[in-house]
A and B are shown apart, each in its own frame.
Chain A
Amino acid sequence: MKVLEIKDVHKVYNSSEVKVHAVNGITLGFEGGEFAAIVGPSGSGKTTLLNMIGGLDTPTEGEILVDNTNLATLKSSKLIDFRMRNIGFVFQSYNLIPVLTAKENVEFIMNLQKWDKNKRDARTMELLKAVGLGDRVNSRPSKLSGGQQQRVAVARALASKPKFVLADEPTANLDSKSTETLLDIMEHLNREEGITFIFSTHDARVVKKARRVITVEDGKVISDEHKN
């Protein structure tokens, strides 16, 4: 079953003088459990596409269906709630809440969803162990390395068992060893939990790990390659 369908999506930015077609008719579908990378040069429309998939931006034309729900039909407050339950986010610059510990950051969304404490604690510990930070649960982000922070971010994204995780250049700020570890962890969780990962990336190491590589240029998909 498709967790995500992108149907002929366009995004046009109207500046005062010129119209910019950031995304120009993209159609894609993602099944559960995919590990996909969207690649392309800067300005190719990767981030715009990812923002639209994540419901942070709306397409000028076309439809985005997450689990058969058209995001455009949801009102702003419903959309936020929908995002919280169905989409996980990993950002380039980690974006953890600096005043909270690793554990508190991971359980933040579960808290918003009012999970029962025992269930929440179990899930948090399970994820933190899975990302190799079982011994750093009470560390604040400032006490963690970049790679460790990004692993906390991955744990946070997966916490409430979303349909898929969107990761915008997750390795851009990491050294190669951290990148390697992070990718291994993500791949492991992808297989373990069956959650789809969609990356936008420049990083050849990410492309190498991905099982599906979608290349975007000038707002269009120019290749969509499934590896075995």
Chain B
Amino acid sequence: MIFKTAWKNVWRNKIRSLVVIASVTIGIFGGVYMIAIMNGAIEQRVDSALNDELGHVQIDVPGFRDNYDIGLTIPHPDSVMEAAGKLPGVVAMTPRTIITGMANSARKSTGVQILGIDPAREKEVFSLYKSTIPGTGSFFETESSRNQAYIGHELAKELNIVRYLVDDDMLQSLAGKGVPKSILDKLSPYRGHRFPSEKSFKKEMKSVLSAREEQEYGKTIVTEAWSFRERSRMTLTFLDINQTQTGAVFRIAGIYDTKNSMYEMSQVLVRNEDLHKLTGLAPDQYHRLIIRLDDMNEAGTVSSELGTRFPGLEVMPWKEIQPELAMMTDMVEMFYTVFMIIILAALAFGIVNTMLMVVLERTKELGMLTAIGMNKKRVFGMIMLESVFLSLVGGISGMLVSEALIGITAKRGINFSNYAEGLEAFGVTSHIYPEISSTFFIMVTILIIVTGILSSVYPALKALRLDPAEALRTE
């Protein structure tokens, strides 16, 4: 009866209740959706870091991580791999040779880390090979030629391996993409012109296009002008095992684009056998073994197991290799909490305000109820239930709206390409897929109920303090 009466009381003043419910809905939706975006971005970042860059567990010789000394190779890597392969949860492994060096093109040079890899095994551990930009080649699929390098898009731009070209093809495809003729006319004087870098091309475009034109079509123009010189080469120089400067010309096998500009800029992949020959390392000498697990959360357990079996090696789970990734995950949890506290506090004030108004308006009725025999516990319970219903209806509708929108955008993703540069500098892609766990939904629902209960206490106490005789006299 109290339930039924409380529920009916919620709808006594429909407009007021709907306004409160709408504000709760919007508040919850705003919070949950923001969190879903943040969470999605971080998950994608962690995902791509683990799948493209880190793997789940790394094994090196102690000290290698500090100075990348070429001599610090893993003794008997085969026996380590055999032992690791027997552990439950281990899916694949790949050995790497890692040296630091310089990448040089005709115009520029920059410091890089050169990773010697075994392409077939690498594909079992990492999915970087899927990030090859179409038209730039492949992930070491052409067997024949020696000395090939698979490099990042940023490095390709830096070394002018990627260029920006205005030609008939480019202008035609721009027209096909709906770029107005007025802009094409402004571009056509550059026909046949090559720009060595994105920067110089953009600078030139800025001088001919208006700010609006640039904002609207700049990205499309840059994308269409992008061109890759096939059979491009670069030189890698480094120190061999005897600390003698050495190097070789490498053909570009392919260019990858991971949306993490730092990684793209610094990591060059070459075949293990090429690197071994150039550095003088023996064919079974590797600096690092990288393991992929079927569950990334098992990394700690597998690491400690391998660590005890091979005390002479340094075995690290991904959370230790890149503590900032773990920190990002933790920080997002902290953000959740702060965000939700702010939203729930606003919700609480809204409900306190409404319920105080309710108690004030119904003074006479509450007096009557006490007079005819409704005890304090029941009056308190009724007011509390009304608050809980109000917050629950708002909360649930907020969650449903969030769930629906997250569901829709999780499939398509949200395009933040206007902020791509900034995001990619942090290793976050500009196409974010919002994501939220069901435990979070359950937690928020519980929190809403708790907030409803807490915010009803004060108005309900106010109702309890009413003197029935006096309350009955009010008009």
Contact = CB atoms under 8 A, between A and B. Distances in A.
Contact of A77 (B364, B368, B375, B472): B375
Interface string A100-111: 100010001101
A88 B367 CA distance: 14
A57 B469 contact: yes
Contacts of B378: 112
Nearest to B10: A99
Interface residues of A, number: 27
B12 interface: yes
Interface in B344-383: 364-365, 368-376, 378
B375 A91 contact: no
A99 B472 contact: no
B5 interface: yes
Contact of B375 (A80, A88, A99): A80
A91 B69 CA distance: 95
Interface string B1-29: 10011001101100000000000000000
B8 A91 contact: no
B469 A89 contact: no
B184 to A, nearest CB: 69
Given A95-B364, A108-B1, A54 B8 contact: no
A99 B370 contact: no
B111 interface: no
A51 B469 contact: yes
Nearest to B373: A84
A201 B70 CA distance: 107
B470 to A, nearest CB: 9
Contact of B372 (A57, A84, A104): A84
Nearest to A110: B1
A112 B371 CA distance: 13
B75 interface: no
Contacts of A57: 469
A112 B374 contact: yes
Nearest to B372: A89
A95 B365 contact: yes
B468 interface: yes
A46 to B, nearest CB: 14
Nearest to B1: A111
Interface in A6-62: 51, 54, 56-57
Nearest to A94: B368
Chain B binding surface, main DSSP class: helix
Contact of A112 (B1, B8, B12): B1
B9 A99 contact: yes
Contacts of B472: 56, 91, 95
Interface string A135-171: 0000000000000000000001100000000000000
A81 B371 contact: no
B376 A80 contact: yes
Contacts of A83: 371-373
A140 B1 CA distance: 16
A81 B373 contact: yes
Contact of B376 (A77, A108, A112): A77
Contact of A109 (B11, B373, B376): B373
A97 B382 CA distance: 13
Contacts of B5: 97, 99-100
30 contacts: A56-B468, A56-B469, A56-B472, A77-B375, A77-B376, A80-B373, A80-B374, A80-B375, A83-B371, A84-B372, A84-B373, A84-B375, A85-B373, A91-B368, A91-B472, A95-B368, A95-B472, A97-B5, A97-B369, A98-B12, A98-B365, A99-B5, A99-B12, A100-B5, A104-B4, A108-B1, A109-B373, A112-B374, A112-B378, A156-B372
Interface of A: 51, 54, 56-57, 76-77, 80-81, 83-85, 88-89, 91, 93, 95, 97-100, 104, 108-109, 111-112, 156-157
